[in-house]
Chain A
Amino acid sequence: MENAHLQGSILSVENLTVSFDGFKVVDDLSLQIKTNELRVIIGPNGAGKTTVLDLISGRTPATSGSIKFRGQELRNMKEHEIVHAGIGRKFQTPSVFEDLTVFENLEISFPRGRNVFGSLFFRRDKEVQDRIQEVAETTYLDEVLHSESGSLSHGQKQWLEIGMLLIQDPALLMLDEPVAGMSKSERVKTGDLLRKIAQGRSVIVIEHDMAFVKDIAHWVTVMHQGKVLSEGEMDVVQKDPKVIEVYLGHS
């Protein structure tokens, strides 16, 4: 039974701990993400949500524990190797290459010619152009494809960053607050976008906006003080007295 569960999971985090100067930001955390699952991680500020993404994506080295992606241990891999293994990650604040156009941002993210000489001799062929066009349409950016990305609105930058991940076609997509700072209509479009791109891949979303979480979540993990406080369907989790206490206690 346990075994069967593991086989279906694409990411398996076990007993993961990271401490900064003795303070455990993530404390003995275990997490299973199934293939094609959309998982939302919520929790109050300082719960360690972003740090979990940092640990999985190789940005922060773990103190102990294991992170297995499709059976491969990620702990000693560098960020770009983890990307090549099939994990894409979006930052909390929109992070795009502001001096480049939307097209160029997407082109850089296209998974080919990613070493020095590969990129020197990279050719912008039809395959690349078609794929960029396709992703730009999916992420509502086809009209601004040749604008400098620094001139985009906040919401468009968030979409562009999602597009940059999408073009990598990762098996696991990790999004840190994808609707932060968005208007209501942008949130709705982002929700549609997430549902669309969650087809055929696993997605982890960190989010604060409860209405948005309810809108997209299948399964929710609540983190508090570096640990998993509660896990389950949104309706059930919301009624969990521990969860209610943590949220009320902090707001």
Chain B
Amino acid sequence: MDRLFPKKDRLSFIVIAVLLLVILPLGLDVFRLNLVSKYLTFAFVAIGLVMCWGAGGILSLGQGVFFGLSGYCMAMYLKLEAAKADIGCTRAQQEVGECIVQSTPGIPDFMDWASMTELPFFWLPFESFPLTIVMILIVPTILAYFVGLAMFKRRVGGVYFAIMTQAMAAALSILIIGNAGYIGGFNGITDLRTLHGWDIRTDDAKVVFYFVTVVLVLMALFASQLILKSKLGRVLVAMRVHEDRARFSGYDVANFKIFAFCFGALLAGIGGAMFTLNVGFIHPTFVGIVPSIEMVIFCAVGGRFSIYGAVYGALLVNLAKTVFSEAYPELWLFAMGAMFIGVVMAFPEGLAGLYKVYIEPHLLKLQRSGKPPSATEPAE
């Protein structure tokens, strides 16, 4: 246990767990708690990036693709449920705003607007909740697997890989925007109401989703911790620092890169699905190049070598975004660019690096000096 979960990491894990499970829920109202949930859905992506970029050295500028795919999977399920609820709507009910009459009832509204009369085949799995969960987990992972297979087996890496993933992000957002009838186009998938008949727009639901998100983040951290501390994690580091040496130590490096990339995609996907639930819609702007780069910045600010740092990075950068873009909406992108440059130049290991240099030694010292004389907790 000590090797898989050393004391330092256990401390970081507990601090995050206490912060998210106790302090924030006690201190924040539902509106703000819901904002934190939204930020946390990006923490999944950032943790995944620590795994592929920090540990394995694979920089993906296309994590928005995986985030978006699963976000859309979840939204498609919720949208179908909302559309089904409107079957049998009468003119009288529409007058009072209870529901909307469609020329083809039971299909999403944007399909009806595009004069479609039938649900496209790829929507069929999303009539079932269990199948939707499966799709949320496997769609991003399988896409990452095939992209990884195509790239890494041919030894495409570094900048070329980053550019490829960015192209992928651009392609998917264009695909979505261009297919308004099939997938909602530029408007995204909106007006999501219930999950299994349970209204997701209420405060209660928001609090529940907050805790579900937190528990999933903690599980993602736990799984990543175990992977990083297994030999697999060390092989990832090994291939980052010396790819050829890893090959000549008998490893098929491509397979390890594929694994890291798939794992990152899986986490991004879980984040995307939780995003849809927490926010109540999904939109193609969460899929493209800009959000994908933002996600890398969350990870870089938090510290790309630390899964715990990544959580703080996602929380703080998103908080900054909310605060800053309310005051100066047009300046946010510049501020973010400046933040990225600042982090890379001044503290390349991000917040986690600062913590490691300035705080952790003191904590360890306190712990050491506090232990022998008494069992009481060292003050300050």
Q: Which residues of B contact A (CB under 8 A)?
A: 3, 227, 230-232, 234-235, 237-238, 240-242, 244-253, 255-256, 259
Contact = CB atoms under 8 A, between A and B. Distances in A.
A152 interface: no
Nearest to A88: B248
A1 B245 CA distance: 40
Contacts of B242: 95-98
Interface in A95-148: 95-100, 104, 107-109, 111, 113-116, 119-122, 124
A133 to B, nearest CB: 17
Interface centre among A80, A83, A100 (most CB of B within 10 A): A80
A95 B230 contact: no
Contacts of A124: 3, 231
A79 interface: yes
Nearest to A83: B250
Nearest to B305: A99
B266 to A, nearest CB: 14
Given A95-B242, A120-B230, A100 B255 contact: no
Contacts of A57: 248
Contact of A84 (B234, B244, B250): B250
A97 B247 CA distance: 12
A120 B247 contact: no
Interface in A40-79: 57, 59, 78-79
29 contacts: A57-B248, A78-B252, A80-B253, A83-B247, A83-B249, A83-B250, A91-B245, A95-B242, A95-B244, A97-B238, A97-B241, A97-B245, A97-B246, A99-B240, A100-B241, A107-B231, A108-B234, A108-B238, A108-B249, A114-B251, A115-B252, A116-B256, A119-B231, A119-B256, A122-B230, A124-B3, A161-B245, A164-B249, A168-B249
Contacts of B247: 79-80, 83
Given A91-B245, A95-B242, A168 B256 contact: no
Interface residues of A, number: 33
B252 A80 contact: yes
Interface of A: 57, 59, 78-80, 83-84, 88-89, 91, 95-100, 104, 107-109, 111, 113-116, 119-122, 124, 161, 164, 168
Given A80-B252, A109-B250, A111-B250, 8 more contacts: A78-B252, A80-B247, A80-B253, A99-B237, A99-B241, A104-B234, A116-B255, A164-B249
B73 to A, nearest CB: 26
Given A115-B255, A116-B255, A109 B249 contact: yes
Contacts of B244: 59, 91, 95
**8 A-B pairs with least C-beta separation:** A122-B231, A83-B250, A79-B247, A119-B232, A120-B232, A97-B238, A119-B231, A95-B245
Interface centre among B227, B230, B244, B249 (most CB of A within 10 A): B249
Contacts of A95: 242, 244-245
A192 B251 CA distance: 30
Contacts of A98: 241-242
Contacts of A116: 232, 255-256, 259
B230 A108 contact: no
A161 to B, nearest CB: 8
